[in-house]
Chain A
Amino acid sequence: MAELLEIKNLSVSFDTPQGELQAVRDVSFSLHAGEVLALVGESGCGKSVLCKSIMKLLHKNARITGGSILVDGIDITNYRQRDMERLRGRLFSMVFQDPMVSLNPTISIGEQIAEAVRVHHPKMEREAVHQRVIELMELVGITEPEQRYGQYPYHFSGGMRQRSVMAIALASNPKILLADEPTTSLDVTIQAQILDLLRDIQRKLGTATIFVSHDLGVVARVADRIAVMYAGKIVEIGTAEEIFYDPRHPYTWVLMRSLPSFAGEGEELYTIPGIPPTMIDLPPGDAFASRNEYALAIDYEEMPPMFQISDTHYAATWLLDERAPKVTPPMGGDFHG
Chain B
Amino acid sequence: MNRKNPYIDYGKKILIFLLSVLILSVVVFYVARLAPGDPLVSYYGDRVEKMSMAERQWAEENLGLNDPIHVQYIRWLQNALKGNFGISFKYKTDVLEVIGGRLVNTLVLGGVGFVLIFVLALGLGILCAWHEEKWLDKLICKVGTIISCIPEFWLSLVLILIFAIHLRWLPSSGAYSIGKATDIPDRILHLILPMTIVVLNHLWYYAYMIRNKLLEEVRAEYVLLAKSKGLDKKSILFRHCLRNIIPSYLSIMAISVPHILGGTYIIETVFSYPGIGTLSYESARYQDYNLLMLLCILSGAVVILCNIISQTINEHIDPRMRESEVIETTEVTEIG
Contact = CB atoms under 8 A, between A and B. Distances in A.
- With most chain B CB atoms within 10 A of its CB, the pick from A55, A82, A155 is A155
A107 B243 contact: yes
A127 B96 CA distance: 60
B240 A107 contact: yes
A87 B319 contact: no
A104 B229 contact: no
A102 B221 contact: yes
B227 A57 contact: yes
B318 interface: yes
B225 A102 contact: yes
A154 B225 contact: no
Nearest to B223: A104
A102 B222 contact: yes
Contacts of A35: none
A151 B323 CA distance: 8
Given A98-B221, A152-B319, A152-B320, A104 B228 contact: no
Nearest to B334: A147
A109 B105 CA distance: 48
Given A96-B224, A168-B225, A106 B244 contact: yes
B243 A89 contact: no
B320 A105 contact: yes
A155 B328 CA distance: 11
A115 B230 CA distance: 10
A144 to B, nearest CB: 10
Contacts of B228: 55, 57, 88-89, 93-94, 169
Contacts of A151: 323
Contacts of A98: 221
A131 interface: no
Nearest to B219: A59
B230 A87 contact: yes
A171 B230 CA distance: 11
B131 to A, nearest CB: 13
B225 A165 contact: yes
Contacts of A81: 233
B247 to A, nearest CB: 8
A155 B225 contact: no
B226 interface: yes
B220 interface: yes
A119 interface: yes
Interface in A143-174: 147, 151-152, 154-155, 165, 168-169, 171-172
Interface string A87-120: 1111001101010011111111000000110011
A35 B68 CA distance: 92
Nearest to A178: B228
Interface in B229-255: 229-233, 235, 239-240, 243-244
Contacts of B327: 155
Given A89-B230, A172-B230, A104 B244 contact: yes
Interface in B301-332: 318-320, 323, 327, 330
A106 B243 contact: yes
Given A94-B225, A105-B244, A107-B240, A85 B231 contact: yes
B319 A106 contact: yes
Interface in A63-77: none
| Best-surrounded residue of A55, A102, A151, A169 (most CB of chain B within 10 A) | A102
Interface in A171-198: 171-172
Interface residues of A, number: 38
Nearest to A82: B232
A41 B101 CA distance: 74
Nearest to B330: A147
B230 A102 contact: no
B258 to A, nearest CB: 29
B87 to A, nearest CB: 53
B227 A90 contact: no
A168 B224 contact: no
Given A101-B221, A116-B229, A155 B323 contact: yes
A315 B330 CA distance: 57
A57 B230 contact: no
A59 B227 CA distance: 12
A168 B227 CA distance: 11
Contact of A119 (B225, B229, B233, B330): B229
Given A101-B221, A103-B225, A85 B244 contact: no
Contacts of B225: 94, 96, 102-103, 165, 168
A57 B221 CA distance: 11
Among B232, B233, B330, residue most surrounded by chain A Cβ atoms (within 10 Å): B232
Contacts of A120: 230
A86 interface: yes
A94 B230 CA distance: 11
Interface of B: 219-222, 224-233, 235, 239-240, 243-244, 318-320, 323, 327, 330
17 contacts: A59-B219, A87-B230, A89-B228, A93-B228, A93-B230, A96-B221, A96-B224, A96-B225, A98-B221, A101-B222, A103-B222, A104-B244, A106-B243, A115-B229, A168-B229, A169-B228, A169-B229
Given A106-B243, A106-B244, A119-B235, 18 more contacts: A55-B228, A86-B230, A88-B227, A89-B228, A89-B229, A94-B225, A101-B220, A101-B221, A101-B222, A104-B240, A105-B244, A105-B320, A115-B231, A119-B230, A119-B231, A120-B230, A152-B320, A168-B229
Interface of A: 52, 55, 57, 59, 81-82, 85-90, 93-94, 96, 98, 101-108, 115-116, 119-120, 147, 151-152, 154-155, 165, 168-169, 171-172
Q: Which 6 pairs, one residue from A and one from B, show the smallest C-beta to C-beta distance?
A: A89-B230, A101-B221, A88-B230, A94-B228, A116-B229, A104-B222
